[in-house]
């Protein structure tokens, strides 16, 4: 039960010492909520939370006033899938917790245990307006990719918000390859693993052991197999997505979120009816595999129009530890191909928060939400825009990273 309570617990992050009372004045406030976009809107931050949002909010005594002068003011972006904080350098044989190729531990892999808030990519990403991330490593030998975590990008030692937030599962070509090369083997293996997990610890204590899982993986998988956690499933083809939908219908206690879904647009109505969210990459338009033959640029727009819950993140295979900041560019490209702006911005902020179960405190500028707030020098989905201020739980973050330090050292004007 220890695990279960850990799973259900939204780990409260201690109120940062430097949280101040801040009034952001006269912005174009994207609330991501019922109030929509408030022109000339104000956002009041007190004790790390949003205290008020609206027009003409009076600054409390002692509040710092930040004049937004019509600039976009938004919730922080939420990287819906990344390897952020799991790797300082991905290649070159450098220490790298983002890739796993052993098979001793699979489902039990614990992303939270590997997250390092001090890697340079965290600050590099934070100063681009990304304040939260869902993280998990990639490249395992198993169809189970381990337990993902939700993290804050404030760089603090306690910035893991939630461990055990989701379970990564490969159920397409990649998953098939990991159980001998065929989906014919993959599905029975998946079902057997769920049975092992549900029967943990009984069958293991009896000496019988698992049919397909070792004890530690069965233990880690158990809450998910009992519907107490979410499976983040990588599938691409319409055929594989239909199989997930059928499987969920037969096992209504289980929760699935699809990551990838290059052909999801073909089964948009069924996904909407099944209430299965999809995390898509709006740049995937090449038949780069036989499970992506009908990939297209307006996938996100078509899914959204059909009523599917859509989040945006790099596709499986392009998720990395350094470029989570590109979520904003991905969303802008979804807009270029038909996704309404509001839905696109929500797809990298509110929607990931909701999918991962923290939608009650993150992803909106509404009273009592955690004060992750970004002020921009332009439309945040434009590639030419950048933040002018980033607050995480009410603490303004310095817009400095190792990259900006290098920039300043070599800035051409500095030499003249």
Partner 1 sequence: MRLRAHPIIALAAGLGLAACATTPSTDTTDTTRRAAFASTYQPAASVPTLIRGATVFDGEGAELANADVLMQDGRISAVGNNLAAPEGAAIIDGAGRFVTPGIIDAHSHLGAYPSPSINATSDGNEATQPNTAEVWVEHSVWPQDPGFLRAVAGGITTLHILPGSANLFGGRGVTLRPVLDAVTVQEMKFPDAPQTLKMACGENPSRVYGGRNSSPATGMGNVAGYRQAWANAQRYARRLEAADNGDGEPPDRDLELETLAGVLNGDIRLQWHCYRADEMANAIEISHEFGFEIAAFHHAVESYKIADMLREEGICSAMWADWWGFKIEAYDGIRENIPFVHEAGACAIVHSDSEVGIQRLNQEAAKAMADGNRAGLDITRAEAWTWLSRNPARALGIEDETGTLAAGRRADVVVWSADPLSSYAVAERVYMDGALIYERGAEIDPPSDFELGQAYTERAQ
- Interface residues toward partner 1, by CB under 8 A: 88-94, 120-121, 124, 263, 266, 283, 285-290, 293-298, 318, 320-323, 325-326, 329, 332-333, 335-337, 377, 381-386, 403-404, 406-407, 410-413
| Residue closer to partner 1 (CB basis): 90 or 116 | 90
Kindly tell me which of 249 and 407 has the beta carbon lying closer to partner 1.
Answer: 407
Minimum distance of partner 1 from residue 90's CB (angstroms): 5
Q: What does the alpha-carbon distance between residue 277 and residue 258 come to, in Å, rounded to a whole number?
A: 6
Q: Which is nearer to partner 1, 120 or 182 (CB)?
A: 120
Please report how close the Cβ of residue 97 comes to partner 1 at its closest, in angstroms: 14
Rounded to whole angstroms, the Cα distance separating 132 from 144 reads 24
Contacts of 375 (CB under 8 A, 6+ apart): 24, 27, 66, 68, 71, 72, 73, 387, 388, 389, 390
Shortest approach of partner 1 to residue 3 CB, angstroms?
34
**Shortest approach of partner 1 to residue 127 CB, angstroms?**
10
Pick the closer one to partner 1 by CB: 80 or 335.
335
Q: Which is nearer to partner 1, 22 or 328 (CB)?
A: 328
- Measuring CA to CA, which residue among 20, 78, 28 is closest to residue 53? 28
Residue 398: CB minimum distance to partner 1, A = 16
Residue 222 contacts residue 198 (beta carbons within 8 Å): yes
CB of 117 to partner 1, least distance (A): 16
By C-beta, is 226 or 337 nearer to partner 1?
Answer: 337
Question: What does 282-317 look like in DSSP terms, one character per residue?
Answer: TT--S--STT-TT--TTHHHHHHHTT--EEE-PPTT
Please report where in the chains the tokens 């699809």 appear, as a residue. 258
- SS3 of residue 243 by DSSP: helix
Tell me how far apart the alpha carbons of residues 234 and 136 are, in angstroms, rounded to a whole number: 13
């Amino acid at each position: 039960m220890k695990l279960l309570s850990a799973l259900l617990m939204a780990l409260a992050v201690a109120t940062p010492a430097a949280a101040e009372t801040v009034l952001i004045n006269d912005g174009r406030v994207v609330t991501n909520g019922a109030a929509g976009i408030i022109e000339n809107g104000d956002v009041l931050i007190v004790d790390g939370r949003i205290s008020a949002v609206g027009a003409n909010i009076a600054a409390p005594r002692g509040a710092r006033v930040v004049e937004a002068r019509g600039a976009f003011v938004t919730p922080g972006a939420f990287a819906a899938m990344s390897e952020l904080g799991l790797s300082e350098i991905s290649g070159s044989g450098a220490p790298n917790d983002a890739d796993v190729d052993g098979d001793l531990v699979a489902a039990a892999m614990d992303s939270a245990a590997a997250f390092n808030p001090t890697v340079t990519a965290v600050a590099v990403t934070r100063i681009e307006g990304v304040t939260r991330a869902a993280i998990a490593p990639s490249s395992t030998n198993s169809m189970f990719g381990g337990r993902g975590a939700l993290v804050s990008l404030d760089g603090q030692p306690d910035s893991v918000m939630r461990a055990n937030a989701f379970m990564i599962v490969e159920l397409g070509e990649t998953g098939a390859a990991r159980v001998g090369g065929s989906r014919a083997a993959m599905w029975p293996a998946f079902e057997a693993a769920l049975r092992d997990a549900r029967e943990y610890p009984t069958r293991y204590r009896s000496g019988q052991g698992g049919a397909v899982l070792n004890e530690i993986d069965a233990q880690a998988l158990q809450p998910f197999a009992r519907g107490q956690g979410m499976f983040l499933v990588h599938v691409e083809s319409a055929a594989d997505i239909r199989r997930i939908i059928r499987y969920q219908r037969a096992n209504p206690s289980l929760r699935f979120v699809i990551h990838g879904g290059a052909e999801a647009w073909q089964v948009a109505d069924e996904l909407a009816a099944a209430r299965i969210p999809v995390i898509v990459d709006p740049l995937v338009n090449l038949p780069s595999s036989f499970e992506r033959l009908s990939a297209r640029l307006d996938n996100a727009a078509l899914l959204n129009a059909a009523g599917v819950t859509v989040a945006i993140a790099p596709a499986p295979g392009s998720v990395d530890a350094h470029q989570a900041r590109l979520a904003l560019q991905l969303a802008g490209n979804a807009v270029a191909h038909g996704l309404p702006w509001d839905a696109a911005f929500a797809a990298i902020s509110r929607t990931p928060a909701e999918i991962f179960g923290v939608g009650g405190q993150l992803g909106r500028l509404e009273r009592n939400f955690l004060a992750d707030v970004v002020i921009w020098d332009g439309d945040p989905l434009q590639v030419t825009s950048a933040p002018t201020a980033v607050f995480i739980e009410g603490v303004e973050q310095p817009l400095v990273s190792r990259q900006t330090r290098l920039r300043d050292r070599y800035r051409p004007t500095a030499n003249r």
